[in-house]
């Protein structure tokens, strides 16, 4: 069994959000995102080969899904995005930390 502490050693970057791979294998990947207020994870984008499951650990953020409407969510919320569903994420007035779970995508350049 592997245990990964989700609330330890958060790293924030001044210019851009930081996506830290917590676990990557042929079945999927788990990434921890840290964003400072006002930072966003790209503009609207998709995960064309995987659903995306997001668990918010700290802070509040503005999340939009397929309808393009931003909604504010905070700690303890689980968001589920369908495969290929367009989405965007932006930190609100405080640091935002969340974990994203995705199925494996072998052609991804950072996939091991």
Write down the mean pLDDT value for the chain.
89
> What pLDDT does 110 receive?
45
For residue 7, being part of any structural domain is answered with: no
For residue 2, being part of any structural domain is answered with: no
> What pLDDT does 111 receive?
41
CA 23 from chain center: how many Å? 13
For residue 3, being part of any structural domain is answered with: no
Evaluate if residue 82 carries a pLDDT over 50. Answer: yes
For residue 8, being part of any structural domain is answered with: no
Any idea what the CATH number is for the domain that residue 50 is in? 2.60.120.10
% the chain with pLDDT above 90: 73
Rg of the chain (C-alpha set):
13
Per-residue pLDDT of 35-76, as tens digits, reads 999 999 877 677 767 899 999 999 999 999 889 899 999 999
Which residues 6+ apart lie within 8 Å of 8 measured at CB? none
Measured on CA atoms in the order 84, 33, 25, 106, is the torsion positive or negative? positive
23-27, 35-39, 76-80, 99-103: the lowest-pLDDT one: 23-27
> What pLDDT does 112 receive?
39
| Own/partner long-range contacts of 68-74 (Cβ < 8 Å, ≥24 apart) | 68/44
Residue 82 near residue 102, CB atoms below 8 Å: no
For residue 1, being part of any structural domain is answered with: no
In 3D, which of 19, 15, 54, 57 has the Cα closest to residue 36?
Answer: 15
Instruction: Provide the domain count of the chain.
Output: 1
For residue 40, being part of any structural domain is answered with: yes
For residue 81, being part of any structural domain is answered with: yes
28-32, 65-69, 77-81: the lowest-pLDDT one: 65-69
CA separation for the pair 68, 52 (Å, rounded)? 16
Is 70 in a helix, a strand, or coil? Answer: strand
> What pLDDT does 105 receive?
57
For residue 9, being part of any structural domain is answered with: no
Q: Which ranges in the chain belong to alpha helices (H)?
A: none
Domain housing 87 = 18-103
Using pLDDT thresholds of 50, 70 and 90, give the confidence band for residue 106: low
């Amino acid at each position: 069994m592997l245990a990964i502490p989700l609330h330890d050693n958060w790293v924030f970057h001044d210019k851009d959000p930081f996506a830290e791979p917590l676990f990557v294998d042929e079945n999927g990947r788990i990434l921890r995102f840290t964003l400072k207020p006002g930072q966003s994870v790209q503009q609207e984008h998709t995960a064309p080969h995987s659903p995306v499951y997001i668990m918010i650990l700290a802070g509040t953020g503005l999340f939009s899904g397929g309808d393009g409407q931003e909604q504010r969510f905070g700690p303890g919320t689980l968001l589920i995005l369908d495969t290929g569903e367009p989405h965007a994420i932006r930190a609100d007035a405080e640091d935002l930390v969340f974990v994203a779970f995705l199925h494996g995508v072998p052609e991804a350049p950072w996939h091991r």
